[in-house]
């Protein structure tokens, strides 16, 4: 359980059994209340970059017929999940730092944690499908257009994307059946299942085991399959005749590799801290949770804009058209 910290004076700690829809309390950064307006500006800029960057990717792919290919359909799914992850935390984070609104009803907390965890599992699934796309493109280039079609990519993406939300429903729904007692204060500006479950004053073994199995059969399984895909990719690339061919083949995977590391490293780190770092400093819990939720949606549009030539050209063309229209 995260370390305790000083509370705002107006928060009253409640005890005994909970009501049906109790009020939970969110917190920002304990000890930094005097500079919360600067923290608000920082988070506002991050949300601005998250939302504008991913919306730009979606608009560029939608309006450019040359990008209506399987690889860019997958990039659209990735931008959509990043956008959903950003919007999921926006109401409570901005409400806390701008309006000093710390209370959140349990039902609203359930909805938020469902969205956060669902979009996280969705992103893991999309990264898995993207790794398979790169596997076929490099290992079976002559059969790529036959194996990877737009219709198949959309079907596969929808199938793996729905896996996360469907599997998340039971674990979130069961939280309402538990009694809650003692402190109902969360240590983040948003709701996470790993933290809310610790507030229950009853046996939560099923939820804990279900949550662990859910992570194992989604995120961990996806990570293992992605690692296997890249193992075969590296083996195939190593067999290419020239250094230039090897470099060119591997460069097609750099943007996906960067997006994968940006997503999985903070997620695994946060999961390990919640499960095995109960006595770790609160600042470490806060740092990992915020990196896990805010950094990937912000960096992915930048990574793909820099590393993907077609996206970069589309952006330059779009900016060139706007400049030409402004001059005329």
Chain segment 58-110, per-residue pLDDT in tens: 998 888 888 888 888 899 999 999 999 999 999 898 888 888 888 888 989 99
**pLDDT value at residue 65:** 85
Mean pLDDT of the chain: 81
Mean pLDDT to the nearest integer, 230-236: 87
| Separation CA 296–CA 86 (nearest Å) | 10
Place of tokens 């740092």: 287
Place of tokens 């007692």: 181
**pLDDT value at residue 118:** 92
- The yes-or-no verdict on residue 1 having pLDDT over 50 is no
Torsion of CA 290, 292, 295, 296, to 10 degrees: -160
Domain boundaries 29-309, CATH class: mainly alpha
Mean pLDDT to the nearest integer, 160-184: 84
- The yes-or-no verdict on residue 326 having pLDDT over 70 is no
Burial call 66-95: b when 16+ CB within 10 Å, e when fewer: ebebbbbbbbbbbbbbbbbbbbbbbebbbb
- The yes-or-no verdict on residue 4 having pLDDT over 70 is no
Q: Which two tokens stand for residue 209?
A: 């085991």
Torsion of CA 28, 30, 34, 36, to 10 degrees: -20
Among candidate residues 252, 315, 309, the one with its CA nearest the CA of residue 63: 315
Place of tokens 């560029």: 60
pTM: 0.83
Share of the chain above pLDDT 70, in %: 87
| Separation CA 94–CA 101 (nearest Å) | 9
| Separation CA 30–CA 280 (nearest Å) | 15
Mean pLDDT to the nearest integer, 294-320: 79
**pLDDT value at residue 322:** 57
């Amino acid at each position: 359980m995260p370390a305790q910290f000083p509370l705002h004076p107006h928060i009253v700690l409640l005890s005994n059994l909970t009501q049906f829809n109790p009020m939970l309390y969110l917190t920002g950064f304990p000890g930094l209340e005097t500079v919360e307006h600067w923290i608000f500006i920082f988070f506002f800029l991050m949300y601005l970059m998250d939302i504008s960057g991913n919306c730009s990717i979606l608009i560029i792919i939608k309006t450019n017929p040359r990008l209506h290919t399987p690889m860019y359909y997958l990039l659209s799914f990735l931008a959509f999940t990043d956008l959903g992850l950003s919007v999921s935390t926006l109401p409570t984070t901005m409400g806390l730092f701008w309006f000093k609104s710390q209370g959140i009803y349990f039902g609203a907390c359930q909805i938020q944690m469902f969205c956060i965890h669902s979009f996280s599992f969705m992103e893991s699934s999309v990264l898995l499908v993207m790794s398979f796309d790169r596997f076929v493109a490099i290992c079976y280039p002559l059969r790529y257009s036959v194996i990877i079609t737009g219709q198949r990519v959309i079907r596969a993406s929808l199938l793996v994307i729905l896996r996360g939300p469907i599997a998340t429903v039971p674990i979130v729904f069961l939280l309402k059946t538990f009694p809650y007692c003692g402190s109902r204060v969360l240590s983040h500006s948003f709701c996470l299942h790993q933290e809310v479950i610790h507030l229950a004053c009853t046996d939560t073994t099923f939820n804990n085991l279900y949550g662990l199995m859910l992570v194992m059969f989604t995120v961990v399984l996806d990570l293992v399959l992605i690692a296997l895909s890249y193992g075969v990719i590296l083996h195939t690339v190593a067999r290419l005749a020239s250094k230039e061919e090897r470099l060119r083949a591997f460069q097609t995977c750099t943007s996906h590799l960067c997006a994968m590391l940006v997503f999985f490293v903070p997620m695994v780190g946060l999961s390990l801290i919640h499960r095995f770092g109960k006595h770790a400093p609160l600042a470490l819990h806060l740092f990992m949770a915020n990196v896990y939720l805010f950094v990937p949606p912000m960096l992915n549009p930048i990574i793909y804009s820099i590393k993907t030539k077609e996206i970069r050209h589309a952006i330059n063309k779009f900016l060139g058209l706007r400049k030409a229209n402004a001059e005329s």
